[in-house]
A and B are shown apart, each in its own frame.
Chain A
Amino acid sequence: MASLSRDDVAHVAHLARLGLTADELGRLEGELNHILDQYSRLTELDTDAIAPTAQTIELENILRDDVVRPSLPQAAALANAAATSDGFIVVSAILTGGD
């Protein structure tokens, strides 16, 4: 199966939004390739005609009644945020440049 280069590991880390150190990237390159080697066993199996299983209990869609119910109060929902203002969570600006 596939094997991961150091650049691949850095790319996946970015996709996963993990800020990793150079040491961590190096270690993960070895570990991930070792684990991916174990995955290669699965290619032994012919699964062309097999349907995938995403969940095991075969529930049909269950719909709840469409009624208004109390939800978490705003103060409780915001209580764990580091910075809030007027009922909003404060984050750094996403768009920069240009006034």
Chain B
Amino acid sequence: MITFEDVTKRYRDGTVAVDDLSMEVPTGAITVFVGPSGCGKTTSLRMINRMIDATSGRITLDGQDVREIDPATLRRGIGYVIQQAGLFPHRKIVDNVATVPYLLGWNKKKARARAMELLELVGLDPGLARRYPFQLSGGQQQRVGVARALAADPPVLLMDEPFSAVDPIVRASLQDELLRLQSELRKTIVFVTHDIDEAVKLGDTVAVLRVGGRLAQMAGPATLLTEPADDFVREFLGRDRGIRRLSFISAKEVRLSPAPSDLETDENGGPLGWRTADGLAAYGTFNPETDSLRVALDAALLSPNGTAVAVDEEGRVRGVAGRDAIDELLAEYAPPAAGPARGGASGSGGGSSSGAGDSEGAPA
């Protein structure tokens, strides 16, 4: 576990980058630091591996003050992924990945063998090992960056806006890849981003920081979306919080009805469309085992009759869920009414749950 205890970073010119930050970063989970530029998120991250030293307060790693550890030794035990990958241009991919093992004094053969394992782990063709970074695409370089950070199997991984320099499609696939890796590796990951959607997608816990380096709120993404601590967090989260929160509710509990006869299926039981007078109409599907309520609702909205088609892994129809079935679950997961804890937020913190959401949706 990483703990921040009253950590402040003040630069010589008086700028306060991080102001009296206290928090606990849980082991084996992804904690995202998110906030606008100037909120001290990168500074906070870099104080963990001492690329920046705190002015006051202390940061502990499994109970030990990081200031008591030699910086280079500390850093070799903490993986680091930087924006734009920061690969060494003069080294082949395999040697880039093997950087920390080399620094730890592994022999070349062992270090390279480990590097090859990691390239495979992050989903890269081993044929790329002999290439130089400039021969790879941005997305591939970023995967190499992740592989390099994992090479010596550090328990902690720091990621500093690692996916912000790649296009949205590649970014989405890198994010999915990270979640897949994390489900296998269970590292303690601190992830910095300015993109709230990325934060909500990746974080087990999200720490929202405000300009001046103060912690505005730290919570799980679903809680964050329904119960933003104040106006700043609410504004930073942006629109559609209610809809976005549905991503964190499993569609498993949606009540399924048997497929009606007007749903055409193929010989394997896969859906073809809704039979109408004008032919087959569009349909939407969701997999109750793996998808969220948001996907189920989306599937319902895609069908002319408002009915989502539930399918299994092989794409066979398992049943259907009408809007009424989805609504039942929506009601079950409605945000808590008038929580006593959120007094400060100018009226909207109280109020009936859905009402607060609605007034919030209107442009300020």
Partners in one complex: no
